[in-house]
Structure 1
Amino acid sequence: MAGLNDAVSVDIEEIYNGGKEHHVKTCHGLVSVVVYGDQEKPALITYPDVALNYLSCFQGLFLCPEAVSLLLHNFCIYHISPPGHEFGAAPVCSTDPSPSVEDLADQILEVLNFFRLESVMCMGITAGAYILSLFAIKHKDRVLGLILISPLCKAPSWSEWFYYKVVSNLLYYYGMSGLLKDRFLQRYFSKEARGSSEVPERDVVHECRRLLGERHGVSLRRFLEAINRRHDITDGLRSLKCRTLIFVGDQSPFHSETLHMVAALDRKYSALVEVQACGSMVTEEQPHAMLIPMEFFFMGFGLYRPGRVSDSPTSPLSPSCISPELLSPESLGLKLKPIKTRVPTKC
């Protein structure tokens, strides 16, 4: 277990009203972890998708007013960034060995040991969901539960492998061009959110486009190539007994893979929430769709005891926004059912 004096800790500008960044030394390089909240509270760790960091992946969810009491008042949040994806990151040396998905999962264990965290709640998006799922398979005793958004679990198909191999090569020669930004935004957001020649893209997409321009090509390529070499973890998922809540937009490119993952998990411990008119990044595009399901998910652990939910038909927390199946007593404990939810297009 690493000691607290083994890391470089620096104050950065207030994030979520006061975050602190730590650079944790691991066997596979430094890892940036932005910590927000009281470290005596239960821990929730996050891991983003390819080319993103915690701000571009989770800001929409964590800045929802309703999410403050749900997340920030009940957990200490540990935002883990893939190597070289943190704000102000120096370019990674191109001669350094590229990490594998196993290396990235092992980094999470070292982060937990550094902060002396016994077991944690995990939240990840797509590639980040794969890394956290792999970590949960390898270290079952360190994971309380999983919240996965548009997760990956299978090895890439030949077409996916070839597509991202071309993307990696374009990054090498041209950097993060406008064309590549469009390709990544298709990965994250629905067609409606990305707009058209007649309709401008939504603010969240515009901001994500800006943040993509800040990524170093070498760091992005290393993470992308690690994910492009991932192996199938379907068999390992069948052995998981931690409760798992999965969100996916019906327009996500990874919708079918998410359904494959749900089929592999034990139905007694997992639930699926499909969000309509949404892409992969439910946290940014329709974060309100996540609040009620997560509230009841956390209640099953005794980690959150909510007040009275608003009955206003315009409230984003109105029970009418989700399937009544999730509100059943079975959903509060071990028997979480696969469900669908329909939410308004606009939060």
Structure 2
Amino acid sequence: MEGIKAASSMVILNLLYFYGMCDMVKDSLLQRYFSKEVRSDLYGAESDIVQACRRLLDERQSSNVMHFLQAINERHDLTEDLKKLQCKSLIFVGESSPFYAEALHMSSKMDRRSSSLVEVQACGSLVTEEHPYAMLIPIEFFLMGFGYYRQPPPSSSRGSNPARPPSSHSCIAPELLSPENLGIKLKPIKTRVAIEV
């Protein structure tokens, strides 16, 4: 798989060198970052975000894109450094991403007590662009592990229960937690929730 990706990158680099930002290069880059569902719908029309990216690629100088791709190809292996990583990490990856295997590899090498992997269905590499709302609940759970909680909205009714402890409210509506509503497959995200008594 690595060999195929390296060969693909070399083809893109050669195309950029000889032909500049041609349609084939743009299509290859868009396939690299966006899922098939976003690149075209049932009628073959591209989504707004893909059209915007295509326009942005037209504005970029081929040499700058070449330098970017060369920098990616020349990165050194971070596997050993991942084992020493001290901070908590949340990894998002789209199921259709060409970097899916790399995300799984990274996750397997990191300390499971301080990292979590979230796989987003029907999504390419740019989860923030394709399914930003699918990131909200995993990020909320992740931050809960640090003791951050969303404050409940101020109650305007007098019928509220003042004796209710602040942490007993639900941070997330239960119906939103179903995989169908999330559009994601959640790997276990370890959180510590302090319960006030």
Per the normalisation by structure 1, the TM-score is: 0.45
Contact 1:297 1:332 in 2 (8 A): no
Please give the per-residue CA displacement for 1:111-139, whole angstroms capped at 9, x wherever unaligned: xxxxxxxxxxxxxxxxxxxxxxxxxxxxx
User: Which residue does 2:31 correspond to in 1?
Assistant: 186
1:207 aligns with 2:69: no
- Check if 1:284 corresponds to 2:137: no
Cα distance in 1 between the residues matched to 2:53 and 2:70: 21
Distance 2:84 2:109 in 1: 9
The answer to whether the Cα contact below 8 Å between 1:181 and 1:212 also exists between their aligned partners in 2 is: yes
Moved over 6 A (4+): none
2:112 maps to which of 267, 281, 300: 267
Closer, same or farther: CA 174–297 of 1 in aligned 2, 3 Å? same
Q: Is the 2:116–2:187 contact (alpha carbons within 8 Å) kept by the matching residues of 1? A: no
When the two structures are aligned, how many residues end up with a matched partner?
A: 170
Q: Which has the higher contact order (CA 8 A, sep 6+)?
A: 2
Shift of 1:184: 0.5
3-state SS in 2 of match to 1:213: helix
2:139 paired with 1:294: yes
Q: 1:196 to 1:289 in 2, by over 3 A?
A: closer
Q: CA deviation at 1:325?
A: 4.7
Q: In structure 1, what is the Cα distance between the partners aligned to 2:129 and 2:71? A: 24
Secondary structure in structure 1 of the residue aligned to 2:191: helix
Asked whether 1:305 is paired with 2:149, we answer yes
CA 1:204–1:332 in structure 2 vs 1: closer, same or farther (change >3 Å)? farther
CA shift, 1:236, in A, is 1.2
Residue 198, structure 1, aligned to residue 71, structure 2: no
| Aligned CA-pair RMSD | 2.4
1:172 partner SS: helix
- Residue 90 of structure 2 aligns to a residue in which SS? strand
Please report how far the alpha carbon of residue 306 of structure 1 lies from its aligned counterpart in structure 2 after TM superposition. 1.2
1:175-221 CA distances to partner (integer Å, 9 max, x unpaired)? 11111111111011111111168231111111111111121111111
Distance 1:264 1:332 in 2: 22
- Give the CA deviation at 1:229: 1.3
* Contact 2:94 2:100 survives alignment (8 Å): yes
Cα pair distance change 1:241/1:312, threshold 3 Å: closer
Determine the C-alpha separation between the residues in 1 that align with 2:41 and 2:129.
Answer: 19
Where do residues 158-197 of structure 1 align in structure 2 (5 Å cutoff)? 158-195=3-40
Match of 2:111, SS state, is: coil
Q: What is the aligned partner in structure 2 of residue 331 from structure 1? A: 191
Structure 1: gaps of 5 or more residues: 1-155, 334-347
Candidates 177, 184, 187, aligned match of 1:319: 177
| Larger relative helix fraction | 2
- The structural deviation recorded for 1:251 is 0.9
* 3-state SS of paired residue (1:220): helix
After the TM superposition, which residues 1-12 of structure 1 pair with which residues of structure 2 at under 5 Å, given as runs? none
Q: Structure 2 matches for 1:1-347, cutoff 5 A?
A: 157-195=2-40, 198-302=43-147, 304-308=148-152, 309=171, 311=173, 313=175, 318-320=176-178, 321=181, 323=186, 325-326=188-189, 330-332=190-192
Q: Work out the CA distance in 1 between the residues paired with 2:51 and 2:172.
A: 32
- Aligned partners of 2:15, 2:187: CA distance in 1, in Å? 47
Aligned residue in 2 for 1:88: none
